[in-house]
């Protein structure tokens, strides 16, 4: 890396600038997608949420009764073991001190670079920026990529520190690029997930207009009521079957005594 040319740094800086723009675009795309899906689902739940919860309750009770009926009369084997193997082993000899978080190290490098490039002692804007970034860097819930997105494009990005060689600058910028690439990949997966979200079907109906949307909700509610009626009838049959089985078993027990 000793013969690394400034052109390589310039290329990396251009990549960083492009990554920042792509991240902003991705975040801008995510926000309305999330808002639209949330809004349409709230309206959907307001109309049919009660019916869907009733369906879930019926189905849960049906599943429970079926399990009871299928296992009725069978001896339940207690295969729970409370021997030594039932509890996980803990390695008390292991070092409890975890290795340093790589992102925390990168944040420290960023802060050090700030003080080499900016002048927070005499420049009010620099002082405010450093204070903001210090708070973000000290927060373990804030990623390096988030800190970098907060950092305005300018001298901190483009200038080398007073004690940096070209190779050091390249190494630092390359670490920043990796962090931004990872964040962009996360955002792109989030967008893909939203585009394939089950609520997209609701959103498609919603965007067809109020009349189509209300007709869809009415039809869905009617279908849900029909399904609940079928489940209620099935549940009643299972309850009766369970009653017959338990009463018959009790009668046999009394006769045997």
Quick: pLDDT tens for 151-199.
999 999 999 998 888 889 999 999 999 999 999 999 999 999 999 999 9
Report yes or no: 194 and 33 within 8 Å, Cβ to Cβ. Answer: yes
What integer pLDDT is reported at residue 160 of this predicted model?
92
DSSP string, the chain: -TT--HHHHHHHHHHHHHHHHHHHHHHHHHHHHHHHHHHHHHHHHHHHHHHHHHHHHHHHHHHHHHHHHHHTTPPPP-----SGGGS----TTS--SPPPPHHHHHHHHHHHHHHHH--TTT-HHHHHHHHHHHHHHH-TTS-HHHHHHHS-SSHHHHSPPTT--HHHHHHHHHHHHHHHHHHHHHHHHHHHHHHT-TTHHHHHHHTT-HHHHHHHHHHHHHHHHHHHHHHHHHHHHHHHHHHHHHHHHHHHHHHH-
From 199, 216, 238, the end of a domain falls on: 199
Please check whether residues 179 and 213 belong to one and the same domain.
no
pLDDT digits (tens, 9 = 90+) for 28-67: 999 999 999 999 999 999 999 999 999 999 999 999 999 9
Q: Considering the domain boundaries, does residue 179 fall inside one? A: yes
Please check whether residues 37 and 121 belong to one and the same domain.
yes
Residue 90 reports pLDDT greater than 70: no
Please check whether residues 166 and 241 belong to one and the same domain.
no
Q: Considering the domain boundaries, does residue 54 fall inside one? A: no
Please check whether residues 143 and 221 belong to one and the same domain.
no
User: Over the chain, what is the mean pLDDT?
Assistant: 86
d(CA 13, CA 177): 9
- The residue count for the chain: 257
Phi, psi of 87 (to 5 degrees): -115, 140
Please check whether residues 179 and 232 belong to one and the same domain.
no
Report yes or no: 6 and 166 within 8 Å, Cβ to Cβ. Answer: yes
Please check whether residues 23 and 110 belong to one and the same domain.
yes
Put simply, whether the predicted model's pTM sits higher than 0.95 gets the answer: no
From 199, 225, 249, the end of a domain falls on: 199
| Total number of domains in the chain | 2
Please check whether residues 140 and 40 belong to one and the same domain.
yes
Please check whether residues 170 and 112 belong to one and the same domain.
yes
Report yes or no: 44 and 218 within 8 Å, Cβ to Cβ. Answer: no
d(CA 213, CA 202): 9
Q: How confident is the model at residue 94 (pLDDT cuts 50, 70, 90)?
A: very low
What integer pLDDT is reported at residue 6 of this predicted model?
84
Please check whether residues 6 and 31 belong to one and the same domain.
yes
d(CA 232, CA 227): 9
d(CA 182, CA 175): 11
């Amino acid at each position: 890396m000793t013969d690394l040319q400034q052109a390589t740094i310039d290329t990396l800086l251009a990549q960083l600038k492009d990554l920042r723009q792509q991240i902003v675009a991705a975040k801008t795309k995510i926000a309305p997608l999330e808002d639209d899906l949330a809004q349409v689902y709230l309206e959907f739940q307001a109309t049919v949420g009660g019916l869907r919860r009733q369906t879930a309750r019926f189905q849960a009770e049906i599943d429970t009764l079926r399990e009871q009926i299928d296992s009725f009369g069978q001896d339940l084997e207690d295969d729970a073991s409370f021997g030594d193997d039932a509890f996980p082993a803990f390695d008390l000899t292991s070092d409890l001190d975890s290795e340093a978080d790589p992102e925390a190290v990168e944040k420290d490098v960023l802060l050090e670079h700030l003080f080499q490039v900016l002048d927070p002692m005499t420049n009010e804007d620099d002082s405010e920026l450093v204070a903001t970034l210090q708070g973000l860097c000290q927060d373990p819930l804030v990623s390096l990529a988030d800190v970098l997105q907060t950092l305005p494009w300018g001298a901190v990005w483009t200038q080398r520190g007073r004690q940096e060689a070209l190779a050091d600058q390249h190494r630092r910028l390359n670490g920043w690029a990796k962090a931004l690439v990872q964040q962009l990949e996360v955002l792109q997966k989030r967008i893909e997930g939203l585009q394939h979200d089950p609520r997209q079907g609701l959103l498609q109906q919603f965007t067809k207009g109020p009349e189509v949307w209300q007709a869809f909700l009415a039809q869905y509610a009617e279908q849900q009521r029909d399904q609940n009626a079928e489940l209620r009838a099935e549940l009643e049959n299972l309850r009766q079957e369970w009653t017959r089985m338990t009463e018959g078993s009790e009668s046999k027990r009394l006769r045997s005594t």
